[in-house]
A and B are shown apart, each in its own frame.
Chain A
Amino acid sequence: MRWGMVVDLKLCVGCNSCVIACKAGRGTPQGTFWNKVLEQEVGTFPEARRIFWPVRCMHCEEPACLEVCPTGATSQREDGIVMVDAKKCVGCKACILACPYEARTLWKEKTGYFGESFTPYEVVAYSDHRLGTVQKCDFCVERLDQGLKPYCVETCLTGALIFGDLDDPNSEVYLSLKQGRISFKLKEELGTKPSINYIG
């Protein structure tokens, strides 16, 4: 079993609802985004257009972050999910520099979105995170273990994010890769073998 995702670039409209769903659901600290929708402008007028690239931790088969981590805080589950154990992380930032997808962030300052004091929501949400440690998307692993999909996938308005078991020939994610459209992975030349595929 290997959890993975397919991103249909033709369906993504850049609404950022996945970003907000992640922030709300996982309660990530101020300035920390476990997923982002990057904007790219291509072509020139009158053929200029924008492409939206939803990106997050790619849960690579050969994670660059895993090999540089000096403490063992970064690990990989058997289902391919790359995890960070905040209790073991010392904040050396090597993994941030190693990740070609800029998917990792260090929680540096304990400030809220509305000043130094936290809102009641922030008090509860931030208690799940550890100051001075590196954070990243974990495919909402607790939800997966309950049979649910990640917040971002469940929220996507257009169905641009498809999630499932890449090894299961009957899964939606597997079938979407076999429908004949061109699929690719980001920064394949670096040999990280990401679990997130893009179809355009």
Chain B
Amino acid sequence: MEKREFIIEKSPQKEWGWLIILALFFTGSGAGAVFFALILGSVTRMLMGVILVFVGALFLLADLSRPLSGWRVILRPQSSWVSRGALGILIFFVLSILHIVSLFLHQGGWTSLSDAPWTTGPAWLIILGVFAGTTALFVAAYPGFLLGSMRAIPFWHSAIFPVLFMISGLLCGLGEIYLMPLPWEKQTWGMALVKNLSVGLVILGFILLLSLILTVRPETTRESVKLLTKGLLRAQFIAGVICGGVIGPLIILVLVFGGVVGTSLLPIAGILLTFGMLLFRYSMLRAGIYTTPV
């Protein structure tokens, strides 16, 4: 039977696909990496984070139909979250690169100080670090605001999304720390703080994900949640995000920090966190279902 074209039905969005998913993943990961690099006072990790955000920005540009006119997206920050996000990324680049250069000169090399620079460094370096950290948090969180501004997709209209994206970005940053341990960071004060933050952040991510799917909301939103928990996206969301991206790393972190198993398992937690947060972005974008026009 021939498909009838103009039937009223709920359809998932197809406008934002893999390029945007990868863009949000790389910008979020990079921002998370920079945030933790600031805690660790690590020039190497900051540089890695900035490169990741740059790769994400390239994916954002590649998704535009007219990438050569991409500069235009910064013109409407007064109302558009696309503009605000693009401007946020630009300011992030400027502040982060300034901080990297300053930190490099202050430390006299790539290795971290035994104490984070914000406890021992000069005031201007601390202020620069605070601003760079704030923009990193903004870059991690803004996709949540961006999705929330799309009135046609009720599932994305949730106050939880900016927090969830920010936590997800930070979890990616954690994943990179555990995935690529740097020998000179092992015993630093900052690393001890990161370890203490890890378990709390993963638990917070778990609670937020649960509240996202358990909150009772309008019909179209319930369709999206059904898609995530019982529909086509259940493998990616339940197995990939909840089990693989949150519960798995949580178990490993608790076992490692409790001294039950060795630290050799930490890179596995890193891989799980990183891959889980990629799948988180995939699931959230794919679960966006349009409200019917009628």
A and B pair up: yes
Residues in A lying within 8 Å of B, measured CB to CB: 36-40, 53, 55, 64, 66-73, 88-94, 96-103, 106, 108, 131-133, 186-187, 190, 192
Instruction: Please tell me if B149 contacts chain A, counting CB pairs below 8 Å.
Output: yes
- Shortest CB–CB separation between residue B15 and chain A, in angstroms? 4
Q: Give the total of B residues in contact with A, Cβ under 8 Å.
A: 36
Residue of A nearest to B87 (CB): A70
Bound together, the chains give a CA A53 to CA B8 distance in angstroms of 9
Among candidates B8, B64, B149, residue contacting A68 with C-beta atoms closer than 8 Å: B149
Contact A97 B66 (CB under 8 A): no
| Secondary structure dominating the interface of B | loop
Residues in B lying within 8 Å of A, measured CB to CB: 4, 6-8, 13, 15-16, 63-67, 69-70, 72-76, 79-83, 86, 146, 149-153, 288, 290-291, 293-294
Residue of B nearest to A130 (CB): B66
Contacts of A53 in B (CB 8 A): 8, 293-294
- Shortest CB–CB separation between residue A74 and chain B, in angstroms? 9
- Shortest CB–CB separation between residue A22 and chain B, in angstroms? 13
Bound together, the chains give a CA A70 to CA B149 distance in angstroms of 12
Bound together, the chains give a CA A80 to CA B8 distance in angstroms of 27
Contact B81 A97 (CB under 8 A): no
Residue of A nearest to B149 (CB): A68
Known contacts A40-B8, A92-B64; is A71 also within 8 Å of B13 by CB? no
Residue of B nearest to A96 (CB): B15
Contacts of A98 in B (CB 8 A): 149-152
Contact A64 B82 (CB under 8 A): no
Contact A100 B6 (CB under 8 A): no
- Shortest CB–CB separation between residue B8 and chain A, in angstroms? 5
Contact A69 B65 (CB under 8 A): no
Bound together, the chains give a CA A115 to CA B291 distance in angstroms of 33
Among candidates A71, A72, A96, A101, residue contacting B293 with C-beta atoms closer than 8 Å: A101
Bound together, the chains give a CA A55 to CA B86 distance in angstroms of 33
Contacts of B146 in A (CB 8 A): 94
Known contacts A71-B75, A90-B73, A99-B152; is A106 also within 8 Å of B15 by CB? yes
Contact B65 A108 (CB under 8 A): yes
Contact A94 B80 (CB under 8 A): yes
- Shortest CB–CB separation between residue B72 and chain A, in angstroms? 4
Contacts of A108 in B (CB 8 A): 65
Contact B76 A72 (CB under 8 A): yes
Residue of A nearest to B150 (CB): A97
Contacts of A39 in B (CB 8 A): 4, 6-8
Contact B66 A133 (CB under 8 A): yes
- Kindly name the residue among B15, B64, B75, B151 whose own CB sees the greatest number of chain A CB atoms within 10 A: B151
Bound together, the chains give a CA A192 to CA B73 distance in angstroms of 23
Contacts of A64 in B (CB 8 A): 151-152
Known contacts A91-B64, A132-B65; is A70 also within 8 Å of B76 by CB? yes
Contacts of B294 in A (CB 8 A): 38, 40, 53, 55, 186
- Shortest CB–CB separation between residue B247 and chain A, in angstroms? 31
Among candidates A90, A96, A132, A187, residue contacting B72 with C-beta atoms closer than 8 Å: A90
Contacts of B83 in A (CB 8 A): 70
Bound together, the chains give a CA A67 to CA B84 distance in angstroms of 12
Contacts of B13 in A (CB 8 A): 97
Sampled A-B contacts (10; CB under 8 Å): A40-B294, A64-B152, A67-B80, A70-B74, A71-B75, A90-B66, A90-B67, A94-B81, A97-B13, A102-B290
Bound together, the chains give a CA A92 to CA B81 distance in angstroms of 12
Contacts of B4 in A (CB 8 A): 39
Contact B6 A70 (CB under 8 A): no
Bound together, the chains give a CA A93 to CA B288 distance in angstroms of 14
- Kindly name the residue among A70, A101, A108, A187 whose own CB sees the greatest number of chain B CB atoms within 10 A: A70
- Shortest CB–CB separation between residue A134 and chain B, in angstroms? 9
